[in-house]
Structure formats: C-alpha cells, structure tokens
Amino acid sequence: MTENTSNLKPIETLDCVGLYCPVPVIQTSEHMNSIEPGEILEVLADDPAAEEDIKRYAKRTGHEIVKFEKKEDHIRFLIKKSK
C-alpha cells in the first residue's frame, strides 16, 4: 500500500455485507475480472474470514490492496487491478 489513498476513486463498489465464506472472495474475483487494469474495486464485507481470504486472493493474483480499513460493522478494501 504505497499510493496516496486520498484521491483513489473506485470504479465500482461490491457490497458483500451479510455474505459468508467463500462468497465474498468469489464475488471479488468475478468483479475484478470485469474491470480494466489500473481500475479500483471497492469491497465491503462483514465476514471475519473475508479479511484473510481477500488479502490472500490479491497476493495470489497480483492485484494490489491500496487501502484496507476496519470499521465497527464491516471491513473495506480498495483493490487495484494489475495488468
């Protein structure tokens, strides 16, 4: 996470709140396939497993998590698609 995150604008928001493993990571993968390299997907989830699953998915696929936040009732990822 090396970029200035204040000016990052997601192309799309994926709301996975209320969904449980493995659905958030599957939907994240599907949505990442539908955006262009360099674009950012925002993912919202409340499944505790989503944090590790999505971080592992991004590392495995080469996408970059440019921002990660834990809120009171959910977690938020900004994922930049690699080439």
Per annotation, catalytic residue among 11, 19, 21, 23: 21
Angle between helices 48-61 and 23-33 (to 10 degrees): 40
Q: Is 16 a catalytic residue?
A: no
| Cis omega (within 30 of 0) for bond into 48 | no
Rounded to whole angstroms, how far apart are CA atoms 83 and 76?
23
Catalytic residue list: 21
